[in-house]
Amino acid sequence: MPAADVKSLDRTGLAEALESLGEPGYRTGQLVRWLYGRGATDFEQMTDLPEALRRELAGRFSLSFPALVRRQVSAADGTRKYLWRLGDGATVESVGLPAGSRLTVCLSTQVGCAMGCAFCATGRAGFVRNLLPGEIADQVTAVARDFGTRATNAVAMGQGEPFANYDATLAAFRFLNAKDGAGIGARHLTVSTSGVIPGIRRLASEPEQFTLAVSLHSAVQSTRDSLMPGARRWPLLELREALAAYVETTGRRVTFEYALIDGANDTEAELQALLRFCAGLLCHVNLIPVNAVPGSALARSSKQRVERFRHALQSAGVEASVRVERGADIDAACGQLRQRCEA
Ligand code: SAH
Ligand code: SF4
């Protein structure tokens, strides 16, 4: 039987494995520190664990760490895009976004994505598999190591629908949040969903104050259905209710992502629907002029339309901003990630 991958375990799983080896409780923190605080690539490096335990762990578990296949650095703004090879040969991308003393890592939660959004390169390529908790968290460790600093923020906005891989994403966020892990504040850890309602409900009930972003892209059901076919299962009316409940339970604000596409979701009727959707909800709208992806004819809204949306939202008392494009020269902007880099 092949050894289990230690990266498949959440914190409880690690604690149980150590307990079954007769180890005291404090070993869990030590192991988490090695795996997610320091990014160990071998059990042998874990010098404060007894040698016999290191051997025992190495016999039971494989320990994979993402291997760098390709790194691109934006000449425009220092954004770095990475293609990693995982333990089984699958590849995923992550992005590192430096800004002053901050480093935000945009991580993937799945290899590919099944949601099939029309404007997204990941969605066009289809779904391969879920990432393991450790494979999600390791992207942050690996990117921070490359920058020679610690990550201050992480956003699950790379490839994949995080709530289609809820348990692994949450387990990873807990490793990233943990003092003995990456030590990133819960509010600085953001999960972005295409609107998977059961995931939104579960997140509302978690004890941590993780930040929620929702890819809205249209508040008109028929438009949203055609742009985001995978999200049809969760209609806008129910989504609106689930978000109101989320705000009520957590007291936290929701961020909406709205990729503005010329003639598709940037009309006056779309704007009015968006205003109605946001009315009375504690939210922030992030307007993203859509980025080009290969094989898609969708074009960016004009500057005037983007400004019209921003102004109308703000005038109605809805917080709104236009997302600054980063890493476009290396195809690292929103929606441009793919599981393979075509050389
Ligand atoms: N799968 C998750 C998280 C990743 S995508 C989700 O969809 O929420 C991060 C954001 O970029 C999402 O809002 C996504 O809809 C948006 N996006 C995808 N393709 C884009 C494109 N071509 N231009 C601009 N934004 C895009
Ligand atoms: Fe998947 Fe998000 Fe891309 Fe939609 S936008 S296909 S949910 S990664």
Q: Say which CATH number the domain at 48 has.
A: 1.10.150.530
Across the strands, what pairs with 98? 103
Burial label for 25, CB within 10 Å (0-12, 13-18, 19+), is exposed
Question: Quick one: which atom of ligand 2 is closest to the CA of 159?
Answer: 8
- Whether 336 is covered by a domain: the verdict is no
Q: Which residues contact 194 (CB under 8 A, 6 or more apart)?
A: 115, 117, 161, 214, 215, 228, 230, 231
33 and 130 both lie in a single domain? no
52 and 73 both lie in a single domain? no
CATH classification of the domain holding 197: 3.20.20.70
- Whether 251 is covered by a domain: the verdict is yes
How many A from CA of 161 to the centre of ligand 2? 6
Residue of 93, 135, 161, 270 with catalytic role: 93
Domain ends where: 45, 62, 79? Answer: 62
Helix, strand, coil share of the chain (percent; to 5): 40, 20, 40
192 and 273 both lie in a single domain? yes
Tell me what pLDDT residue 333 has. 76
Tell me what pLDDT residue 318 has. 98
40 and 87 both lie in a single domain? no
Per-residue pLDDT tens, the chain, 343 aa: give them: 567 999 999 999 999 999 999 999 999 999 999 999 999 999 999 999 999 999 999 999 999 999 999 999 999 999 999 999 999 999 999 999 999 999 999 999 999 999 999 999 888 878 999 999 999 999 999 999 999 999 999 999 999 999 999 999 999 999 999 999 999 999 999 999 999 999 999 999 999 999 999 999 999 999 999 999 999 999 999 999 999 999 999 999 999 999 999 999 999 999 999 999 999 999 999 999 999 888 888 999 999 999 999 999 999 999 999 998 888 888 887 777 775 543 3
Token pair in block for residue 77: 């703004």
- List the one residue out of 311, 287, 289 whose CA is nearest residue 298: 289
Question: Quick one: which atom of ligand 2 is closest to the CA of 121?
Answer: 3
Q: Are 172 and 205 in contact (CB under 8 A)?
A: no
159 and 256 both lie in a single domain? yes
Ligand 1, atom 18, residue with closest C-alpha? 335
57 and 138 both lie in a single domain? no
Per the annotation, the verdict on 113 as an active-site residue is no
Residue 114's domain spans which residues? 67-330
44 and 115 both lie in a single domain? no
192 and 286 both lie in a single domain? yes
Cut 0.75: pTM above it: yes
193 and 87 both lie in a single domain? yes
Number of structural domains, the chain?
2
236 and 279 both lie in a single domain? yes
Question: Quick one: which atom of ligand 2 is closest to the CA of 110?
Answer: 8
163 and 74 both lie in a single domain? yes
Per the annotation, the verdict on 120 as an active-site residue is no
- Whether 227 is in the pocket of ligand 2, judged by its Cβ within 6 Å, is no
How many A from CA of 17 to the centre of ligand 2? 35
Taking the CA of 199 as reference, the closest ligand is: 1
Tell me what pLDDT residue 339 has. 56
